[in-house]
Structure 1
Amino acid sequence: MLDKWAEQNVDPSLFSRELMAKASDLVGDEEVNYDPQILLKKAHSATSSIGSATVIVAMLERNGSLKIANVGDCGLRVIRKGQIIFSTSPQEHYFDCPYQLSSEVVGQTYLDATVTSVRLMEGDTIVMGSDGLFDNVFNHEIISTMAQYSDVAEAAKALANLAHNHSTDSSFDSPYSSEARTKGYDVPWWKKFIGMKLTGGKLDDITVIVGQVVNERDI
């Protein structure tokens, strides 16, 4: 899809930035009422830029329930006591072709979003990111990186840097290259014959957000 917009001389960042700006403006809207799918509906309809984007939004209610709406291959992980206790699943038409919200009439809408929820506890850590994170960083690397930082901003930067480093490493056997092989994409047979395989990260936009659940009295 990015190639398509590039051919039309469209800046692909404009649509995603406006979509998220509209979502931010509408978080407190009465019609949204802590429903992330309705938030996507209203933000999408209010976005006038040309383009398309994968998107994930999450809204935390006072009772501790985190409601999530996801279109495409952005993702979210909940870490509790050093283990991932919840993960979203990507939506794809086929390998490397995710669902997207778009400025075009034909395409995915808020109705196509996968809507999930998870009950959070004090101390839980939420890691959200674009596929540039999850295509390049394994879950166990996310856990080990998070264990090194108490500051969520520093943790987010560390994960983004790790994802970037992996994305430019042609020898790293990334989540992306591993999935590609399972879908039938690999090096030519003669390279396999000498023990080679498809490796490398995926060059992509990388967005990382990290948050932690704290008690209101500690804020």
Structure 2
Amino acid sequence: MANAEAVVSSEEMDFDAQMLLEKARTATTSIGAATVIVALLEKNGSLHGASVGDCGLRILRRGRIVFATQPQQHYFDCPYQFSSDPGGQSAADAVVFKTDLEQGDMVVLGSDGLFDNLYDQDIESVLSTIGGPDQDSAQRGANALAVLASKHSRDTTYESPYTKEAIQKGFDVPWYKRILGHKLTGGKLDDITVIVAHVVKEKHPSFSDKAIIDPAAPNLQDIGVGISPFSDSPPKDGVEEPFLEKFSQG
């Protein structure tokens, strides 16, 4: 992600999220793989993004999720992996998306530790209580989502999105336990990274040489980040913290 940030800071990307991923991948020499998501805000209010694996993005409008990315998996619990290794997934394998933002929208990005432990209605419920839009409320929202996801990840009785999908894919407790009324439950212990951003309009944004903002267009600002590395060991899918380009300072 440091390479992605460096590319955005030093080059004109023309809001091509897939190109951003490929340039970051080319600049990476470290061995390993990770799921990844990037999002770029165009000055007309369009959000461009690309994702490899099971990191995710949600857009809330008037308290309801109106846009959601879909995870990529080879099979259950084995997401696509963005890697510098020729045998891994590249930017060509990314899911590319574009959607228009409106003033008042909220953008949520997270690692799979968030979405494996919270349903979309949970995200809506948590963010309905934070107020805003301002940086403090975005930070409260990110922290609250990370804390709740962590709580659910440790709850062996919680019927999580992760175990629900596992059952749908054919994983369950043995038949003799099902006869006794037992069922597969529990969250997924994992690292949890959350970014929450408000979409606002600024009459007088802070301009820079790299980002000239249309004063009438929506801007992503007041970003809050919640990180909860609660797993006892590094995650097997090596999730990195998502990166969200911020065109103007609040």
Give the TM-score taking structure 2 as reference length.
Answer: 0.78
Question: Which one of 142, 146, 152 corresponds to residue 156 of structure 1?
Answer: 142
Deviation at 1:31, TM superposition (A): 5.0
- For 2:162, the equivalent position in structure 1 comes to 176
What is the aligned partner in structure 1 of residue 226 from structure 2? Answer: none
- The yes-or-no answer on 1:135 pairing with 2:112 is no
Q: Deviations over 1:34-75 (max 9, x none)?
A: 111000000111111111100000001010100110000000
SS at match of 1:143: helix
Which position in structure 1 is the counterpart of 2:62? 81
Tell me how far apart the structure 2 counterparts of residues 31 and 153 of structure 1 sit (CA, whole Å).
29
1:105 positional shift = 1.6
**Equivalent in 74, 88, 92 of residue 111 of structure 1:** 92
- Consecutive unaligned residues of structure 2, counting only runs of 5 or more, are 132-136, 205-249
2:25 to 8, 26, 44: 44
The structure showing larger relative contact order (alpha-carbon pairs under 8 Å, at least 6 residues apart) is 2
Q: Which runs of 4+ in 1 moved over 6 A?
A: none
The residue that corresponds to 2:186 in the other structure is 200
How many residues are paired up? Answer: 200
Matched position secondary structure for 1:59: strand
The code of the aligned residue for 2:124 comes to: I
Which among 111, 119, 126 is matched to residue 145 of structure 1?
A: 126
How far apart, in 2, do the equivalents of 1:77 and 1:178 lie?
A: 20
Structure with the bigger percentage of helix = 1
Unaligned runs of 5+ in 1: 1-19
Post-superposition shift, 1:29?
4.3
User: Per-residue deviation at 1:181?
Assistant: 0.2
> 1:82: how far off?
1.1
Return the alpha-carbon distance in structure 2 between the equivalents of residues 63 and 144 of structure 1: 29
RMSD over equivalenced CA pairs, Å: 1.1
Whole-Å Cα distance in 1 between the matches of residues 147 and 109 of structure 2? 15
